[in-house]
Structure 1
Amino acid sequence: MGGNPEATLETDRLLLRPWRVDEADVMRELWTERDPRVPPHRRIDAEGHPTIAELENHIRDRRSSLLAIERKDAGDVIGYCGLVDGGRGAEGEPELAFELLRRVWGRGYATEAALAVLDRARAAGHRRVWATVWDWNAASRRVLAKLGFTETGRREVDAVHGTTLFTVIRL
């Protein structure tokens, strides 16, 4: 994905592109901002992992299909968006994932980035895309609703972290 121009998406305000190693600090900031209800393996642990160096290696190894979201006007990375193959939806159908820094919430960036990713999915021949969301994550639920995702009725209940809702969109 690194030098592949097809990996880059552009909207009016955003560039979605592969992460750069020197942006590991932004990736780590996303980890530090996560709600305490998010399971521990998705938050910074007691020993401070993942470290910036570990996240740099993650970027260097291109272990993620999630694209960095860069604001064109400011030139800063504010989060990620992309499709995950082998997600928790139906076999062979990708899952949409996005996460933005809190300081840019409420400006429509998640919706704008996700629309570009969904357009790419449609062009690639995908017929459906899944998204999972915690029942308590009102902001992400609003974004998914704006995009046209609907709840399937499938849920995974976790007494500690909350219920995961499964949503889907037909492209």
Structure 2
Amino acid sequence: MFIRSERLFLRPGWPEDWAELHALIDDEAVVRNLARAPWPYGPDDAKSFSSLAQDQKHPHFFITLPGAHGSRLIGCIGLAQFGAETELGYWLGQPFWGQGFATEAARAVLSLARAVGHRRVIATPFIDNTESARVLTKVGFRPTGEVRRVLSPARSEPVAAPVHAIDLAAPLDCDGPGDGNFAGMRRAA
């Protein structure tokens, strides 16, 4: 699966991406906000992640920024199964923070989530990661009031993580009541 947004190209990772991935994520300031990335993040971790198979209902993407000399990796985003729930997770390399890339990538992935049938998606940013919470608010997530304790390998301890959720509207059924009143225009052949 591939997604094109206004400025970004989201694509699967390929095994040959490992060195670029490692150079970008081998940063404690990035990994300290992630629940699933090991710390320290080594070359073998990057090789393993770059080679992960895609799941049709829970895909993950490399976020790339196309330019005159090709596409540059700037982060990752994806959907993961968390128990019975679907969770959105993402990260960007430090040079790309504060430029709206996370918001743009999240909107694109939420659109895909709706298209593949997800009706609710959660996210659990650590309580001190206010920038991530701000991104979630911009794309429509709301705090649920639940707080989970999530282990961060870079912090070596569980961290409070407020649960945010977004309810995604079901796609319109073109043959149903939300079909734009085209039913009356159809004729039996």
* Letter of the 2:75 counterpart: G
> For the pair shown, which has the larger CA radius of gyration, 1 or 2?
2
TM-score (norm 2): 0.72
C-alpha spacing 1:146/1:170, structure 2 compared with 1 (3 Å): same
Q: Does residue 51 of the first structure (1) align with residue 42 of the second (2)? A: yes
TM-score (norm 1): 0.79
1:58 is displaced (CA, Å) by: 3.5
Moved more, 160-169 or 57-66: 57-66
Equivalents in 2 of 1:44, 1:30: separation in Å? 14
CA-to-aligned-CA distance 1:89-122 (integer Å, 9 cap, x gap): xx1x311111000101111111101101000111
Q: Pick from 38, 61, 67 the counterpart of residue 61 of structure 2.
A: 67
Asked if the contact 1:29/1:101 (under 8 Å) is kept, the reply is no
* Letter of the 1:117 counterpart: V
Asked if the contact 2:33/2:129 (under 8 Å) is kept, the reply is no
Q: Does residue 20 of the first structure (1) align with residue 11 of the second (2)? A: no
* Letter of the 1:59 counterpart: S
Q: Which runs of 5+ in 1 are unaligned?
A: 1-6
Q: How many residues align?
A: 157
Equivalents in 2 of 1:157, 1:61: separation in Å? 27
C-alpha spacing 1:61/1:118, structure 2 compared with 1 (3 Å): closer
Alignment of 1:72-83 (within 5 A): 72-73=66-67, 75-83=71-79
* Letter of the 2:107 counterpart: L
In the other structure, the counterpart of 2:134 is 142
RMSD: 2.6
Q: Which has the higher helix share?
A: 1
Asked if the contact 1:37/1:161 (under 8 Å) is kept, the reply is no
User: 1:97 aligns to what SS in structure 2?
Assistant: strand
Asked if the contact 1:37/1:162 (under 8 Å) is kept, the reply is no
Q: Which runs of 5+ in 2 are unaligned?
A: 152-156, 169-189
Q: Does residue 42 of the first structure (1) align with residue 37 of the second (2)? A: yes
User: 1:133 aligns to what SS in structure 2?
Assistant: coil
* Letter of the 1:141 counterpart: A
CA-to-aligned-CA distance 1:32-63 (integer Å, 9 cap, x gap): 22337558973433xxxx43244224423427
Equivalents in 1 of 2:92, 2:111: separation in Å? 20
User: 2:78 aligns to what SS in structure 1?
Assistant: strand
